[in-house]
Structure 1
Amino acid sequence: MSDNVVSEINLSDMRTSLLNPVILSSIVIIIISVVTLIAYIFGRWKVISFGPDYVPMAPLTALLFFLFSIVLILQFSSLSKQTKFWASITGLSIIFGVSVISLSHGVFFFIPDINEILFHNTDMVAGFPVAKTSPVTAIIFILTSISLLTGLSSHRFILDISAVLAIPIAITGLIISFGYLYNTPFFYGGTEVPVAFATGLAFLFGGFALFYSRKEDTIFAEIFFGASIQSLLLRTFLPVILLFVLIEGLVFSILLTHSSINPVFLSGIVALGSTGVVTVIITLLSRQIGRIIEHAEKERDKSVLDLSNVNCELTKAYSDLKKNEEKLRILADYTYDLEIWEDPQGNYVYIGPSSIWLTGYSAEEFYQKKDFFSEIVHPEDRELWKEHLDNKYKSSSRLSIYVRIIHRNGSTKWIHHICQPIILSTGENLGWRSSNRDVTHEKIAEIALNERDAQYKLISENSADVIWIYSLAEQRLRFVSPSVFKMRGFTDKEVINQSFEEMLTEESYDFVNTTLPLRLSQFKSGDESARVWVTEIFQRCKDGSTVPTEAVTTLVADDYGNAVEIIGVSRDITERKEAEAKLNSALNQIDKNLETLAALNDQIRNPLTVMQFIAEEVGDKNGKILQDQIIHIDKLIDQLDKGYLYSEKVRIFLTKHANNVYNSNKEDESLVLQYKS
């Protein structure tokens, strides 16, 4: 809310307060009091008297009226109730105490005169001292303080007393004012100090303010300020007639004093004038009241019409309510879940028809026994159910629990029970509503899934290979198996916060950083060969060394075919790398040996052919011996040829065996990935 709006609201509240008759009357009394005090301060007390032969209001009286007005205004202020109460008590105590002391001074002369202490004045008017409070004034102030004090109560009877006391206060002020206006003020010519005209006028306004302030609390004020025609007429004519009488008395007094016209003739003229004025006033007021009554009748006819419309709307609303009730009944009776409503004492108010297929028992069987549901809860879950009921009656929020029940046919069913309190907007508690759904199939699947997860956990925590899951969206590892510690020296908690750049050597990181975007692009375009890759990468260890690993990675896609995760199995291939190195060395050596054998075969056979030719040419005994040695050497060469062929077979066998071992390792890792997926 803006400052301008707040200012307008505050200004509106201020205008409403100032237009309050109690506040207006209090302001008039304050003006009379302040003017009186100022006149005494400047020695101009004659200005505030009704005439040179009449006493003015005493300063003490002005102060009491000022305090009285402040107390009245405080009761309509925005201060706290406690602050207004104690401020009023303080002000009323002062008014009551000072009035009692002032009244007692006239009886007991040893009691000091507060008027004399407050304002010393030796002037006399009509034989009476100026600036002295009349005993009548003190008595009325005592009644005023009692009326104000009883008005602080909240009991109707005491408030009636407050309103009753305000009536004589206002009437006294009115009589005193009339006396002055008709040139016959009271108490003049006697021994008691008379009451000043300003004092009577202030009592008139004060009594009216007291009476008006009780208009909503007492039956007496309601007679005058009520909404009935009688009250309207009373508060319309009475003030007008009183005002007219006051004005007439004032005019008659002035004319009688300052005119030489025959008093009888003057009285007749005033009577005729008064009759005419009263006739005009009554006519105008009658017309105004007639308009008000006509307006009230129109409003009544409009109210009757509105009432008829409201009746039609209520009839339609009732019809709609019945239809909605039927809809709600259909929703409740044909819902899949078993709906139950219990009152605050635990008695069943409503049991849905679903109880038949869910429990095997009808709604009537539930109604016959309080807390029937607890009896069909599985024996192993009854302690859990009892704990739930204890929490239910202590809590004001929604509760949920999974329990088993025994069906009427002896089978066991899992149900999901949700209950919540039924609290109306008025705060009334209507009990509890619960929904019970059959979740047997879901629970069986959940138990099977938990068992499978337990097996997976056993594999992941005891596998020598490192199983990991990488989130492509979050660009970080979501899971690493504990076996990473054996491979790299880091714990799984340390590794899960590492990036690829921290985990891999510079060459391996460049390889992954280059190939991964291409692989994801191929997979998105539908290339299934990009789903599973086998790569060799080098990873960093905690001690600063590196370890060669073989990573089998599988892309996991969402429902839209987009890769969201990478599931990987990394294996330490240090020993395999060493074995491959040794095997390659052996194969290289065999190749060298085979080359050497082939060379020796050629180098020996060529000279041997020459020697065979020479031995045949010689033909003697020595030639025969030479031929035998040549044949022996030839047989040795044939054996070397056979050894060459055997070495070639050994080489082929070793190469094939190495490939089988490599492929077997990949198959093992594929099995792990399939289980993980």
Structure 2
Amino acid sequence: MRSEPPEGRDALRAKIIGLGEASLHKNYYPELQSRLAELERFRALLDQTYDAIFLIRAKTGKLADVNAAVRAYLGHSKKELLATSFADLISPQQKAGFVEFIRKKSDLQSESRQTCTASLISREGTEIPMEITVRSVTFGGEQYLVAIARDIADRVRTERELRIKETALESSTNGILIADLSGAVIYANRSFASMFGYGEDGAVTERNLEAFFADPTVGETITGHLLDDHAIMQETIGLRNNGSPFHIQVSGSVVQNDAGQPLCIMLIVMDITGRILTDQMKRETYAQLGKNIEQFAILGDHIRNPLQVIVGYAEMIDDPLAEKILEQSRRIDEIITELDRGWVESANVRQFLRKHGDGTEPSVQAFLHSWK
């Protein structure tokens, strides 16, 4: 001011431009430098994270800022990204749903966090599945959205593999059961539930293994054996929900973690009732076949006995017809001999019996051996 003495004006001027002991520059510059250094550290921290961070203008949807992870994931420069709408980075198939999600988020005018899943498109056109958390914030009177995107490609791949494995378990025609180390069932597929007469898969869970065997101690024995040897295969009698027994084959193992520690028990169960009945029928058939062969041999002897008597009498008769009787008697004997040879030496019968020798009754085998 003109009314002020010259020395006062010089002091004020020195204070403004940073000269003098009480200058504004000397009062605020150190604090400004400190704030700038803090912002630089924060920016460096954000750039070190693997999460992609987007600052989005709520009104336009344009990007206001991004961290280094965004550029690494998408392959765009920062200049290109700041000229882009965030929605344009979303997969075309998911864009409409994500825009609606952002619109609702902007209308909330709150700082609550919401999460969705969407794929970002890189410069090369690769889709990167992301879990995106969005939060509404306000800076200097302007509303922004902060979107933090986390790469979930590994998780998506793992979930897909788990779904494939679960589908394979569910579609298996064999019964599959998983129990904890105490024998309590924690999972059973549809085939197991159907095989044992349970209407729903859930009706099997929380039961113990002993509930599925006619002999309750079998479940405990199987559990103990698996924990000792880690594998088992045996045939036993299963017990349906209605109490009816049936033949089953059980194979199982212990599921272990990477450290080799047991996690749970998995059993694969097959209904072998049909096979057991077939084997039983084979044994009965072989036994009956042996009896039939033996019976034919006995019948041959029974026919030969009276035939010998006829031959003896015919030889004592002095009559031209006696030779006819002897001739026919020899033919009968040859037929009986051929029958014996046909039943015992027939290649088809012997080959059939050899092929199913495990199911042939001992008496049949001994009988055939005696005729060799």
Tell me how far 1:618 sits from its aligned partner. 11
Tell me whether 1:536 sits opposite 2:236 in the alignment. Answer: yes
The structure-2 alpha-carbon separation of the partners of 1:329 and 1:609, relative to structure 1 and needing over 3 Å to count, comes to: farther
Q: Partners of 1:607 and 1:582 in 2: how far apart?
A: 38
Matched ranges for 1:11-410 at <5 A: 326-342=40-56, 348=63, 350-368=65-83, 372-393=85-106, 394=108, 395-410=110-125
Q: Residue 652 and residue 423 in structure 1: after superposition, are their counterparts in 2 closer, same or farther (change >3 A)?
A: farther
Residue aligning to 1:478 = 186
CA contact (8 A) 1:484 1:491 kept: no
The alpha carbon displacement at 1:352 in A equals 1.8
The answer to whether the 8 Å contact 2:235/2:250 transfers is yes
Instruction: Summarize the Cα distance change of 1:347–1:409 in structure 2 as closer, same or farther, 3 Å threshold.
Output: closer
One of 186, 200, 213 as aligned partner of 1:504: 213
Residue pair 2:293, 2:343 contacting (<8 A) in 1 also? no
Query: Could you tell me which amino acid in structure 2 is paired with residue 401 of structure 1?
Result: C
Report the alpha carbon displacement of residue 644 of structure 1 after superposing the two structures with TM.
Answer: 2.3
CA distance in 1, matches of 2:241, 2:153: 49
1-structure distance, mates of 2:100, 2:57: 20
**Residue 590 in structure 1 maps to residue 289 in structure 2:** yes
Unaligned 5+ segments in structure 1 are: 1-314, 524-529, 659-677
Partner of 1:645: 345
Q: Give yes or no for contact 2:90–2:121 (8 Å, CA) kept in 1.
A: yes
Q: 2:311·2:329 contact (CA, 8 Å) conserved in 1?
A: no
Per residue, is there more helix in 1 or in 2?
1
| Contact residue 355 and residue 362 of structure 1 kept, 8 A | no
Aligned-pair CA distance for 1:340: 2.5
**Identity of paired residues, percent?**
21
Is the contact between residue 177 and residue 266 of structure 2 (CA under 8 Å) also seen in structure 1? Answer: yes
- Structure 2: distance between partners of 1:630 and 1:540: 64
Could you say what secondary structure the match of 1:497 adopts? coil
**Do the aligned partners of residues 454 and 494 (structure 1) sit closer, same or farther apart at CA in structure 2, a change above 3 Å counting?**
closer
**Contact 1:376–1:406 (8 Å) recurs in 2:** yes
Q: How far apart are residue 633 of structure 1 and its match?
A: 0.3
Q: 1:121 matched to which residue of 2? A: none
Query: Residue 353 of structure 1 aligns to which amino acid in structure 2?
Result: A
The match for 2:228 is 521
Give the SS at the match of 2:281: helix
Shift of 1:444: 5.7
CA distance in 2, matches of 1:495, 1:451: 23
2:22 match: none
Distance, in Å, in 1 between the alignment partners of 2:210 and 2:313 is: 76
Alignment partner of 1:581 out of 280, 290, 294: 280
Distance 1:623 1:443, change over 3 A: same
- Report the Cα offset of residue 487 of structure 1: 3.9
- Greater RCO (Cα-Cα under 8 Å, separation 6 or more): 2
Q: Structure 2 matches for 1:483-494, cutoff 5 A? A: 483=191, 486-492=194-200, 493-494=202-203
TM-score normalized by the length of structure 1: 0.40
Q: Which has the higher strand share?
A: 2
Over the aligned positions, Cα root-mean-square deviation in angstroms equals 4.6
State the shift of 1:586 in Å: 1.4
Q: CA deviation at 1:539?
A: 0.6
For residues 436 and 585 of structure 1, do their structure 2 counterparts lie closer, same or farther at Cα, with a shift above 3 Å needed?
same
Look up the equivalent residue of 2:206 and give its one-letter code.
N
Describe the shift of the 1:561–1:645 C-alpha distance in structure 2 as closer, same or farther (beyond 3 A).
farther
Structure with the greater alpha carbon radius of gyration: 1
Equivalents in 2 of 1:550, 1:501: separation in Å? Answer: 15
- Sort the Cα spacing of 1:479 and 1:638 in 2 relative to 1 into closer, same or farther, 3 A: same
Offset from partner CA, 1:213-250 (integer Å, 9 cap, x none): xxxxxxxxxxxxxxxxxxxxxxxxxxxxxxxxxxxxxx
Distance 2:326 2:158 in 1: 91
1:619 positional shift: 12
Give structure 1 regions of 4+ aligned residues with deviation exceeding 6 angstroms: 317-324, 343-347, 601-621
| DSSP-derived class of the 2:248 partner | strand
1:657–1:583 CA distance, 2 compared to 1 (3 A): closer
**Retained in 1: the 8 A contact 2:210–2:218?**
no
Following TM superposition, by how much is the alpha carbon of 1:587 offset from its aligned partner in structure 2, in angstroms? 1.4
SS at match of 1:567: strand
Relative to 1, partners in 2 of residues 1:409 and 1:582: Cα closer, same or farther, differing over 3 Å?
A: closer
The equivalent of 1:165 in structure 2 is none
- Structure 2's unaligned 5+ residue stretches are 1-29, 361-372
Give the distance between the partners of 2:303 and 2:38, measured in 1 at CA.
Answer: 114
Alpha-carbon deviation of 1:627?
6.5
> How far has the Cα of 1:411 moved from its partner?
4.2
Contact 1:539 1:549 in 2 (8 A): no
Partner Cα distance (1:343, 1:335) in 2: 22
Residues 511 and 571 of structure 1, relative CA distance in 2, 3 Å threshold? same
Structure 2 length normalisation: TM-score? Answer: 0.66
